[in-house]
Structure 1
Amino acid sequence: MRKEYTRPVSKPIDGDANVLSILTSRVSRTADKSLIEYKTDNQWKSFTASEFYELVKGLAKGLIRKGVQPGEAIGILSQTRWEWTALDIAIMSIGALTVPIYQTNSASQVQNIANDSHIRMIFAENDEQRDKVESVIDDVPTLGEVLVIDKTHAQYSVIDTLLELGKTITDATYQARVDSIHGDAVATIVYTSGSTGTPKGIELTHRNFVYMANSGIQSMMDICYRPGGARLLLFLPLAHVFARYMQFYSIGSDIVLGLSSDMKTIIADFQSFKPTFILAVPRIFEKVFNAASQKAGSGIAGKLFASAAQTARQWSMAQQAHQKLSMWNRVKYAFFKKVVYSNIMDVFGGQVDYAVSGGAPLDSSIAHFFNGVGLPLLEGYGMTETCAPACVNPTSGYKIGSVGLPLEGLTFGVADDGELCIKGAAVCKGYHNHPELTQQQIHDGWLHTGDLGDIDKDGFIYLTGRKKELIITAGGKNVSPGILESSVMISPVVDQCVVIGDKRPFIAALVTLDLNDTNAWLKAQGAAPVTDLEEAAKNPIVIAEVDSAINRANQQVSRAESIRKFEIIPESFTEANGMLTASLKAKRNVIVKHYAQLIDTKIYVLRSGK
């Protein structure tokens, strides 16, 4: 390695324990205090730590009664909800493997995952998901039954059934099973979202989760042991390893974990649950910023918001440079803090101290805006292969533009070709049914991430691009598309931006629009709304806004790396049409192939005969 940096552990971590130990440790500290909160009939209800442990134990006993053995795979096909968390811990506590399946996966995707992991049973959220599984059940030889979580047509759910079955299993029998499962046992197989090909199953062990939950807690003590209590509202899908990790981070500390999955009510949920920190992808923060900007409009209120946004960024940049604003700007900042910034903080419930951002590059202007408003976006980085987070910015001394410091006990390295590599207890056991890929990606203990980056003198990690997504133009210029794409997507009308140009004479972009956001923005500009995406793509006001977003993005790169042409696509990139992953990442190769004719005829005009 050309560079290495290890963050030492402040307190030894025992990684040989079962995942259940994360919950039992919480029970030993705060048995009668709220642990899991969930919404039903528009009211928040809760489980104490001891109540949730008894629930998990009862479900695990029910699984034992049904004959579930260590090493057998059990699927969960559901949105985020308390049953997901309870079933997950119950399954893993007795040595079986949880296989998360996104509720948006197609029947054929469910079939592929089930066959690859030899799933024995699947917990489906509702009748719709059950029907999806049963449509392919004849093609999954190992799948014995599909159990429905919801009480749709029955008085009792599968939760009630398992609890009843488990009554014939003694505590001693259950504890003996728990005690037989150690750190090196595989706890779960998590399938990647597949942005660069067929999803691969990644084997994560009990050690991965136990060690990294405790490492995360020790790395971010002031978030999870906040004076007055810490609260996290988790709304990302638990099928994603980042959200799943955060449930263990919360349970292993003193955080009250709120679970929600309805994005239509997320603002109301923030305001009623009142989280003290939040976890989200950059797109959420971009949409909050755009909504605030559009609400202000283009009149006096719009000018006030624009000035407030500029002042917030100035404050943040001064803070990052360890400088102070001028007296005049300090007066403006104090005024905007009362009049504008407090309203934005109220969107998140008014109690949020920090937000953790991950999953995609965070544009620096968004980071500086929220930092100035009073909500530091602590950017982090990780992979499914590292049990989600591998590094994150600290709450004190964070550096905007970096993805932070390694979590305690982890080592980051920079290889000779600039690739970031990771070593430590976070690294997965390997790729399920793909020993050749395991040998290719993990050697001498180092996980080769495929990302390019650097480490500064203080140990902060910086991403500079992705090896596989690096665009090399016909002129030989290497271009990392992420910084351009994340910048363009700040525009209030843009939904997705995909930069292209590999082996082409210049860099270009394919842009899609968000119809609702576009109409909200047009209204704020005093312009007439559009009826569909095709009309939006031809609207000169919208085109001018996209052009401005492209120009702003180009200011961050050299002329050779800049976007020279763009095309607005009058369609959406979605999971359904195969152009987005379940974690909402654009599938560049799929998109370029799908729009090959448009690219060749409208962007790169081919000469006749070539």
Structure 2
Amino acid sequence: MRQEYTQPLDSPIESDRNVFSLLDDRARRTPDESLIEYVGDDGKWKSFTPVEFRDKVIALAKGLIARGIKPGDSVAIIAHTSWQWTALDMAVMSIGALTIPVYETNSPAQVRMIFNDSNVKMAFAEDDVQRDKIDVVRDSCLDLKDVYVIALGAIEAIEKFGQGVTDEEFWQREKAVKGSDLATIVYTSGSTGTPKGIELTHSNFVFITISGVQFMHDALNKPGRRMLLFLPLAHVFARFMELVCFAGSMTLGLSSDLKTILTDFRTFKPTFILAVPRIFEKIYNAASQKAGSGVAGHIFSHAAETAIAWSKVQQSGQPIPWVLRIRHAIYNKLVYSAIMQIFGGKVEYAVSGGAPLNATIAHFFNGVGLPLLEGYGMTETCAPAIVNPPKGYRIGTVGIPLQGVTVGVDETGELCIKSRAVCAGYHNHPEITKAQIVDGWLHTGDLGSIGADGFVTLTGRKKDIIITAGGKNVSPAEVEASVMVSPVVSQCVMVGDRKPFIAAIISLDLQETNTWLKSEGAEPVKDLKEASENPIVRAEVERAVNKANELVSRAESIRKFEIVPDEFTEANGMLTPSLKAKRQVITEHYKALIDNVIYAPKSRQ
């Protein structure tokens, strides 16, 4: 490695513990505290103590045993974030079976692929909509036996099945689960467009969870700490944060509806928030829109400028000028305090992950009084590997390694990670495992640098994967190839890195377009500009895009496209010799179109 940095552990972490032991230990440490809180059918917050939740998990685990789930069997969950998701997940893993999380937005084709690749034997669906996805492909999922619907009493049914299983049978199964055993297979986008299953062990989860608690002890362990979690639990980062709450002393609030998130902030009053950058962007934009364009808008604009300026000076380590201090204090009373109330008024820290964080947004919230601690990790590292510390955080970096984690930069500039949290491998793909994990080093596909004090800065992406502002990893190859099947399309280049949704820039083949127009009984066009403006051609492109979108989830689909009146060639640098589009070149060339048309900022009303 050209550069290397290790963050030492404060205390040793046992290597042979299983995930259930984190919950069991919490039940013994703080049996009567509030562990999990959720909004009930009456709109009020309900809660489980650690003992109540552990007993619920054991009851479900007994039911799984009664239904024939054995160690190593795969059980899928397709549902929104809820206590039921968490309880089922813990129950599955507690008896040595594997949880297979599936996003609610996955298409039936993706469900079929995941179920067959991981040999799913039992599945839990949120409701009829999710069950219908399974039913569409059920005949081709040969290992699948039972399907239960959470909204139709699945929890109660599984508990009923388990009443004939003794405590002794459960504990015998639980004690047999070792740290080296697989706990879950999490599917993430690969460079080819086909999701790859990441094999994560109990030891992977336990190590990184306890490391995280040691790293952020004050934020996670002081009395009265509360975290509101609203990311989908199919995302490994969300599951990691649940386990952090179990291993520490936090109360975990679960929410899944972004339409109610502001109400949930206000009523739950978190001290700690985990979110993707898009959430903070939405809150910033909502505050700006609410201020409007009159006097209030003028005040907000100056308040935002002051917050950003204050943050930049604070980050530089220089004394803050007295004029800026006074302006900041005034706006704190007029504007910032109201923004902090949006989060419930108690929040001290927020961790931003899953996608790059815009520096302006980071400086704004830091200046308002809410440090956004940016971090970095992958499914392959069991979520986080690097994060900014609560004290001494640096905007523009992704922080320093968690305790017990080593980061390196190889001779090509690629960021590499070595730790006990690095995955066991890629399910059914030993060749990818061998290529990606070399001598214990996970090659991340990202380019970066490491400072002398361990702070990591990302400098680019080696992989051709788009990461949206919502944290969704999107591999564009499959959708792009589908769009280019259309007779009028020459090239389709998807964009959306750090943006709120996926879009596409599409070029046309003039000769083929005219041939197609004639076949449709329409008049030919004289040039690419006329072709790009032709409503018949646009309708055909839209048809091709809609068809391609059927292959993927909504978050991965093309939501908007622009047809450009240009030809992509090797001569103008847009194509490689093998006629593949150069994404970076095209994205830079059409930067104005992307920023000002496709993702046009919303004007204030």
CA distance 1:178–1:276, shift in 2 (3 Å)? same
Q: Quote the residue 2:102 is aligned against.
A: 101
User: Are 1:206 and 2:197 an aligned pair?
Assistant: no
User: Are 1:187 and 2:183 an aligned pair?
Assistant: yes
Q: How does 1:530-569 map to 2 (within 5 A)?
A: none
Q: Quote the residue 2:169 is aligned against.
A: 173
- Render the CA deviation track for 1:472-518: whole Å, top value 9, x for unaligned: xxxxxxxxx98xx97xx9xxxxxx9x9xxxxxxxxx99689999x9x
User: Are 1:262 and 2:238 an aligned pair?
Assistant: no
- Render the CA deviation track for 1:25-57: whole Å, top value 9, x for unaligned: 111111111101111121100000000000000
Aligned mates of 2:235, 2:260 — CA distance in 1: 21
Select which of 411, 417, 421 maps to 1:422.
417
CA distance 1:5–1:600, shift in 2 (3 Å)? farther
- Deviation larger for 128-137 or 450-459: 128-137
Select which of 323, 334, 340 maps to 1:339.
334
- Render the CA deviation track for 1:47-102: whole Å, top value 9, x for unaligned: 00000000000100111111110000000011111000000000001000000001
Aligned mates of 1:574, 1:48 — CA distance in 2: 49
Q: Quote the residue 2:131 is aligned against.
A: 130
Q: Quote the residue 2:566 is aligned against.
A: 601
Residue identity opposite 1:440 in structure 2: A
Q: How does 1:329-368 map to 2 (within 5 A)?
A: 329-368=324-363
Q: How does 1:363-402 map to 2 (within 5 A)?
A: 363-402=358-397
Q: Secondary structure at the match of 2:417?
A: strand
Aligned mates of 2:138, 2:269 — CA distance in 1: 42
Aligned mates of 1:605, 1:442 — CA distance in 2: 35
Aligned mates of 2:170, 2:156 — CA distance in 1: 18
User: Are 1:450 and 2:425 an aligned pair?
Assistant: no
Q: Quote the residue 2:519 is aligned against.
A: none
Q: Quote the residue 1:86 is aligned against.
A: 87
Select which of 157, 160, 163 maps to 1:161.
157
Residue identity opposite 1:20 in structure 2: F
Aligned mates of 2:33, 2:20 — CA distance in 1: 18
Q: Quote the residue 2:463 is aligned against.
A: 468
Select which of 315, 327, 330 maps to 1:320.
315
Aligned mates of 1:413, 1:265 — CA distance in 2: 41
User: Are 1:43 and 2:38 an aligned pair?
Assistant: no
Q: Secondary structure at the match of 2:386?
A: strand
Percent sequence identity over aligned pairs: 55
Residue identity opposite 1:188 in structure 2: T
CA displacement at 1:226 relative to structure 2: 2.8
CA distance 1:374–1:161, shift in 2 (3 Å)? same
Aligned mates of 1:576, 1:284 — CA distance in 2: 30
Aligned mates of 1:4, 1:574 — CA distance in 2: 44
Contact conserved, 1:195 with 1:580, CA < 8 A, in 2?
A: no
- Render the CA deviation track for 1:354-397: whole Å, top value 9, x for unaligned: 10001111111110000000000000000000001001000000
Aligned mates of 2:144, 2:111 — CA distance in 1: 11
Contact conserved, 1:77 with 1:123, CA < 8 A, in 2?
A: yes
Aligned mates of 2:188, 2:369 — CA distance in 1: 34
Aligned mates of 2:497, 2:252 — CA distance in 1: 35
Contact conserved, 1:127 with 1:148, CA < 8 A, in 2?
A: yes
Contact conserved, 1:124 with 1:149, CA < 8 A, in 2?
A: yes
CA distance 1:433–1:450, shift in 2 (3 Å)? same
Residue identity opposite 2:135 in structure 1: E
**TM-score normalised by the chain length of structure 1:** 0.79
Q: Quote the residue 2:236 is aligned against.
A: 241
Unaligned runs of 5+ in 1: 152-156, 471-480, 490-495, 499-507, 518-532, 534-566
User: Are 1:22 and 2:18 an aligned pair?
Assistant: no
Q: Secondary structure at the match of 2:106?
A: coil
Q: Secondary structure at the match of 1:150?
A: helix
Contact conserved, 2:122 with 2:146, CA < 8 A, in 1?
A: yes
Residue identity opposite 1:377 in structure 2: L
User: Are 1:299 and 2:294 an aligned pair?
Assistant: yes
CA distance 1:428–1:72, shift in 2 (3 Å)? same
Residue identity opposite 1:162 in structure 2: I
Aligned mates of 2:162, 2:415 — CA distance in 1: 47
Residue identity opposite 1:48 in structure 2: T
Residue identity opposite 2:566 in structure 1: T
Aligned mates of 2:73, 2:46 — CA distance in 1: 33
CA displacement at 1:270 relative to structure 2: 0.7
CA displacement at 1:130 relative to structure 2: 1.2
Aligned mates of 2:106, 2:137 — CA distance in 1: 13
Contact conserved, 2:355 with 2:498, CA < 8 A, in 1?
A: no
Aligned mates of 1:39, 1:427 — CA distance in 2: 35
Q: Quote the residue 1:552 is aligned against.
A: none
Contact conserved, 1:232 with 1:257, CA < 8 A, in 2?
A: yes
CA distance 1:204–1:413, shift in 2 (3 Å)? same
CA distance 1:127–1:240, shift in 2 (3 Å)? same
Aligned mates of 1:575, 1:403 — CA distance in 2: 37
User: Are 1:70 and 2:59 an aligned pair?
Assistant: no
CA distance 1:248–1:513, shift in 2 (3 Å)? closer
Q: Secondary structure at the match of 2:54?
A: helix
- Render the CA deviation track for 1:445-486: whole Å, top value 9, x for unaligned: 00000000010011011111111249xxxxxxxxxx98xx97
Contact conserved, 1:314 with 1:325, CA < 8 A, in 2?
A: no
Residue identity opposite 2:22 in structure 1: I
- Render the CA deviation track for 1:281-323: whole Å, top value 9, x for unaligned: 1111111111111111111111111111111011111111111
Residue identity opposite 1:125 in structure 2: E
- Render the CA deviation track for 1:530-558: whole Å, top value 9, x for unaligned: xxx9xxxxxxxxxxxxxxxxxxxxxxxxx
- Aligned-pair RMSD on alpha carbons? 3.2
How many matched pairs? Answer: 516
Contact conserved, 1:134 with 1:146, CA < 8 A, in 2?
A: no
Aligned mates of 2:422, 2:306 — CA distance in 1: 42
- Render the CA deviation track for 1:198-244: whole Å, top value 9, x for unaligned: 100000000011111101111111111134x1111111100011111
CA distance 1:23–1:599, shift in 2 (3 Å)? same
Aligned mates of 1:377, 1:514 — CA distance in 2: 18
CA displacement at 1:328 relative to structure 2: 1.6
Contact conserved, 1:195 with 1:581, CA < 8 A, in 2?
A: no
CA displacement at 1:443 relative to structure 2: 1.2
Residue identity opposite 1:70 in structure 2: P
Q: Quote the residue 1:411 is aligned against.
A: 406
Q: Quote the residue 2:525 is aligned against.
A: none
Contact conserved, 1:575 with 1:581, CA < 8 A, in 2?
A: no
Q: Secondary structure at the match of 1:319?
A: helix
Unaligned runs of 5+ in 2: 477-492, 504-532, 573-578, 580-605
Q: How does 1:496-575 map to 2 (within 5 A)?
A: none
Aligned mates of 2:323, 2:424 — CA distance in 1: 56
